[in-house]
Structure 1
Amino acid sequence: MTRVRFYKLRSSLKIVNDLDVTEETTKSDTLWGVRPLLDHVRQGCLSLPRCDKVCVDEQIIPFTGGCPIRQYVPGKPNPNGLKVFVLASPNGLVLDFEVYQGKNTFRGQRLGVGAAAVLRMVESVPTGTYVFFDRYFTMINLMDAFLSKGLPATGTIMKNRVPKQCQLPGDKQLRKEGRGASVTLVRRGPELAVTKWFDNKPVLMASTVYGRYPEDICSRWSNKDKGHVQVRRPAVIREYNDNMGGVDLCDRMLSFYCMSSRTKKWTSRVMMHFFEVAITNAWIQYKSDKLLDSPPYDDSSEDSEEEYQPPTKTRIPQPEPSVRRLGARHMPEMMDIKHAMARHT
C-alpha cells in the first residue's frame, strides 16, 4: 500500500454515520463522532475485576491541532491535547475513564471539577476500596465525602487547602530536625490525618486511613553527599508511592509502541489512543493470567541443589567448501581469527 493511499484511507475512517446523529446530540456531546468507540472500550474496562487499591489521575491524548475541547496541562510530557480522567490499578490497568469536555462534563457537582471527576471515577468501585489521588483533586470536603461512602482516601494536598485550625510546624522547624522529620495531626469524627514530611522539601498528605506510623526507612538521593542516604518515611508516604503510579505506568506502556502518525483530525487521534488503551489492558491481563497459570516452583528437586550451568552457545555450522562459492552466493567463511575483516574470496 502506498503512503498516499494509506493516508486517504485513514482520513476516511468513521465510527458513526453523520446522517444518523441528531442535531441535539451534536450540540450536547462534542465527542459524538467517536462516542460508540468510547462506550465500547469503557464497557470493557468496567468488566475488569476490581482490586482493593486504585488511583485517579489525569491522562493526556497528545494533539496540537484544532479541537474544541483541547486542554493545556503544564507538567505533563505532552501538555497539549485532550484531557482524560482515568481510574487505574497500581499495575497500570485502566478500570474507567472520562474525557473532559469542559465545565459541563460533570453536572450537578458543587465541589469543583477535580472533586467531581474523582467522585465520578469511583462509582464502579466497591465499598472499602482504597483510593489515591494527587493534590489537584484533594480537598477536605472530598475526603469527608469519600469517608461517608465507605471509601478510604489518600492524597497529597496543597498548603492553602489545609484547614486553618490545623496548626502544623513551619518548614524551618522541620528543616532543623533534619531530613525525614515528620508530624501528624489527627481529627476525630470524621477521621482525618494530615501529615507533613520533610524530604528535599515539605510534603503535605491528607488521608482517612494512613498516618505517620509505622515509619520505615527509604533510600533517597542526596546532592550534598553525592549518593543515596537512608531517610525515615511515614506510612502514608509509603502507601501513596506504592499505589499512585498506575496512570503514569499506563502512559509509559502506551509510549512504547504508540501509533505516532501525524494527523489534523482529532477524532483519528482519539480513536488511535483508545485502541492503544484496549491493547495495553489486554496485555496486562494476559501477563496476569499467564502468571497465575504458571506451575509453582519446586525447590525440593535434586536439580535445584546442583550448580547452575549456563546454556552452551550453539555454533552455526560452516558452509561446505564445495558449495560456498557456488553461483553468485559467495557464503562467508568462518574464521577463528579475532577481529577478522570480511574479504572477497
Structure 2
Amino acid sequence: MKRRTGKQASTCTKTCSRQRMGQSNGHQYPWVNQLKLERLVLVATNREGSRKHSARTWKPMNETDLRAYVGLLILAGMYRSWGEAAVSLWNAEFGRAIFRATMSLKDFYRYSKTLRFDDRESRHVGGRSSDKLAAIREVWDMWCERLPALYNPGPDVTVDERIVPFKGRCSFLQYMPMKPAKYGLKLWVACKAKTSYAWRMQAYTGRQDASATARERNLALRVVLDLTQGLEHRMVTCDNFFTSYELARVLRNNNITKLVSVHGRQVFSSRFALSELATLVSYVPKRGKTVLLLSIGHPRPKIDSQRKDRKPHLILDYNRTKGGVDNLDKVLAGYSCRRMTERWPVALFHNIIDVSAYNAYVIWRETHPEWMPGKRNRRRLFLEQLGKDLFTPLIMRREHAPRAEPVYALMSAVREACSDATAPQRSEKRKRCQLCPRTDTGATHNKAYRYNMTKETGRPAVVSTYTDLSAVRCKLELYLTLLSRRLLLFFRLIHNQQQSTQHAQLPTRTKATAESATYSP
C-alpha cells in the first residue's frame, strides 16, 4: 500500500475537508445532489416508460409522482407489510384507504415495472460495460457522496459488513450463513457506534475480471481505508476479518485508533503483548475459548478489577462499539420498505430508501431532543409523517377522487388540513362586520365569507375571504343565502299586495250588498 506524500497528501486533505464541510465534488450545498438524483431517476424511468408503453398509455413521471411513490413505500414499511402483496394494500375492504387515496394500483405497478436508474443502451460508452454496478452506479455514487456531508460520526466508528436481502439473478450475489438474510448483496458500512448512522457505504461486486483466478490481496486493508477516508483522531472498531498488522500501522500513520478482534488458559485470565505500535491482549471468557484483541489506542494494559469477570478495558471498549452495523441491520429490518422484485437494482434502491429514512430520523432526533421524549414509537411516528409529507402533494393535485366513501373522506381531510395550514391567520378576537347594522347578527360567516345585504344595492358586500373551505362550497353558500333573501322579499311583496287589494275591495262589496238589501221589486 503506497503512502500519500507531497502533492497527493495535500490534495487528499483538501478533499476530505470539503467532505466534512458538506462540499463534496465542488457542491456547496448537499441538497444539490438530491435534485440531481431525482432528475436522474426521472429521466431514466420516463425513457424506459416511453419504450415499453405507447404515448396514450404512458404518462410521464414527475417529481410529485416519484416522491409519492417513495412515500407509499415508506408507509408500507411503517405498516411492516414488506411480505404483503400490493393488491391487499389497495383492497377496498381489508386494505388501507391512504394507498387508494394517493394513487391507483395500476399506476403503482406501472412505476414499479418501469423504474430505472440509467440508460442500458449507453452502458458500453466510457467503459461502463465492465462495471457490474452500472445499472445503478450514478445514483449509488451520488447517494454515497451525500451521506458523510450531513453528519459527524463522532469519536467511535464501526466498520463491518451487511447484506441486502435478495434471491434473484445477480452476478455478484453473496451467501453469508451467519447473517439473518443468507443471500443478498454485500455492502461494506462505516457507521457511528452509538446511533448506527450510516456514514459511508461501499458495494462489493466481487472480482472485476471474471477470468481472474487469484483473489484480491489486502481487501480488508483497502475497505477500511476507503471507509475511513477523511476521519482523524477516531477509534475504528471492526471484527477479525479486517485484522492485520499492516492495517494497524497504516491507521496509526493516519491518526486513527484501531480496535479489532482475532479468534485455553484459566477462565477470566488476560495476557498482554506490547509494542511501540500496538497492544495485543488474550482473554479467556470461558473454558476452552480464547479471545484475542489488537488495539493501537490502548498503550497501557488495564483491567477492571471491580468486575467479576475481570475484563480488560480494551475488551470493554470493543463490546461497547462493536455493534454499530449489526444494530443498523436490526433497525432497518423493523421498518423496511423492500418489496418483492426480481431486479437487483430495485432491491438496492429500496435499501437506499431505508437507510436514508433512518439517517433522517437520527438527524431529526439529535437536532430536536425535545421531540416526544420517552416515546418508544418515535421512529414509527417519524416515518408516518415523512411518508405523509411525500405523498400529500399528489393528493392535492389529484382531480378525480375514488368513489369509496372512506377514501373520499380521507382525501377531504388531507386537503382541508393542508388548506388550514396555508390559510392566513385570523385575529384572536372575532370582529363584527363593518357594513352590518348592530341589530343584525345573521350576516357574518365564520369560515367562508363575511358579507352584508345593503339596503341601497341589495347585493352582498364581501368583507374578507378565507381559504379553509373549498371555493365551490363558499360560492354555493353565498348564492343560497342571496336566493333565500330575495325569495323572502318576493313573498313579502306578494303578501303586501294581496292585503292592499283586499282592503281596497272591501267597501265596494259592502255597498253592493246594501243596495241589494234595500231593493224590492
TM-score (norm 1): 0.70
Measure the CA separation in 1 of the matches of 2:135 and 2:178.
29
Corresponding residue of 2:290: 202
Q: 1:140-175 CA distances to partner (integer Å, 9 max, x unpaired)?
A: 1111111122211110024xxxxxxxxxxxx1xx23
Task: Find 1:257's aligned residue among 308, 313, 335.
Answer: 335
Summarize the Cα distance change of 1:242–1:216 in structure 2 as closer, same or farther, 3 Å threshold: farther
**What percentage of aligned pairs have identical amino acids?**
22
Quick check: 1:38 aligned with 2:126?
no
Look up the SS of the partner of 2:242 in the other structure: coil
Pick one of 299, 304, 307 that aligns with 1:215: 304
Task: State how far apart, in whole Å, the 2-side matches of 1:17 and 1:70 are.
Answer: 23
Unaligned runs of 5+ in 2: 1-99, 210-214, 374-521
Please give the residue correspondences for 1:64-75 in structure 2 after superposition, counting only pairs within 5 Å.
64-75=167-178
Q: How does 1:259-278 map to 2 (within 5 A)?
A: 259-278=337-356
What letter matches 2:235 in structure 1?
Y
Q: Distance in 1 between matches of 2:182 and 2:285?
A: 27
Per-residue deviation at 1:270?
0.5
- Structure 1 equivalent of residue 200 of structure 2: 96
- SS of the aligned residue for 1:262 comes to coil
Provide the residue aligned with 1:141 in structure 2: 246
Distance 1:94 1:208 in 2: 24
Separation in structure 1 between the aligned mates of residue 253 and residue 130 of structure 2, nearest angstrom: 32
Task: Give yes or no for contact 1:103–1:113 (8 Å, CA) kept in 2.
Answer: no
Give the CA deviation at 1:40: 2.6
Contact 2:272 2:279 in 1 (8 A): yes
Question: Could you give the per-residue CA deviations for residues 12-70 of structure 1, whole angstroms, max 9, x where no partner exists?
Answer: 10122334444444323211221232123212212022311111000101111110111
SS of 2:163's partner is: strand
Checking the alignment, whether the CA contact within 8 Å between 1:182 and 1:212 is kept in structure 2 is: no
Tell whether the 8 Å contact from 2:196 to 2:327 is kept in structure 1 after alignment: yes
Instruction: Give deviations 1:189-214, integer Å, cap 9, x for gaps.
Output: xx211101111321110111126404
- Superposed, 1:111-126 pairs within 5 Å as 111-125=217-231
Shift of 1:6: 3.2
Distance 1:256 1:66 in 2: 25
Distance 1:217 1:25 in 2: 61
Partner of 2:152: 49
* Partner residue, 1:13: 115
- Relative to total residues, which structure has the larger helix share, 1 or 2? 2
3-state DSSP of counterpart to 2:297: coil
The superposition leaves residues 246-298 of structure 1 with CA deviations (integer Å, 9 ceiling, x where unpaired) of 11111111011112421111111010011111111001111111127899xxx
Please tell me the residue identity of whatever aligns with 1:136: F
Aligned to 2:183: 80
> What residue is the counterpart of 1:224 in the other structure?
none
**Letter in structure 2 aligned against 1:135:** N
Q: Given the alignment, which residue of 211, 221, 234 partners 2:312? A: 234
Amino acid at match of 1:14: R
Paired residues of 2:365 and 2:371 also in contact (CA < 8 A): no
Written as runs of structure 1 = structure 2, the 5 A alignment for 1:310-321 is none
Secondary structure in structure 1 of the residue aligned to 2:228: helix
Tell me if structure 2 keeps the 8 A contact 1:134–1:155.
Answer: yes
Amino acid in the other structure paired with 2:153: R
CA contact (8 A) 2:280 2:294 kept: yes
SS of the residue 2:248 aligns to = helix
Q: Is it true that 1:288 corresponds to 2:366 in the alignment?
A: yes
Q: Distance in 1 between matches of 2:208 and 2:157?
A: 25
- Partners of 1:184 and 1:130 lie apart in 2 by 20
Contact 1:217 1:233 in 2 (8 A): no
Answer yes or no: is the 8 Å Cα contact 1:139–1:157 preserved in 2: no
What SS does the aligned partner of 1:232 have?
Answer: coil
Q: Report which of the two structures shows the higher radius of gyration computed on alpha carbons.
A: 2
Question: Does the C-alpha gap of structure 1 residues 37 and 213 become closer, same or farther in structure 2, counting only changes over 3 Å?
Answer: same
Instruction: Establish whether residue 153 from structure 1 lines up as the match of residue 255 from structure 2.
Output: no
Distance between the aligned counterparts of 1:44 and 1:249, measured in 2? 22
What is the SS of the residue equivalent to 1:26? Answer: helix
Structure 1 vs Structure 2 CA RMSD: 2.4
* 1:187 positional shift: 1.3
The structure-2 alpha-carbon separation of the partners of 1:68 and 1:24, relative to structure 1 and needing over 3 Å to count, comes to farther
Q: Please tell me whether the aligned partners of residues 192 and 209 of structure 1 are also in contact (alpha carbons under 8 angstroms).
A: yes
Q: Which segments of structure 1 move beyond 4 Å, counting only runs of 4 or more?
A: 1-5, 292-295
SS in 1 for 2:177: coil
Corresponding residue SS for 1:291: coil
2:494 alignment partner in structure 1: none
* Residue in structure 2 matched with residue 245 of structure 1 by the alignment: 323
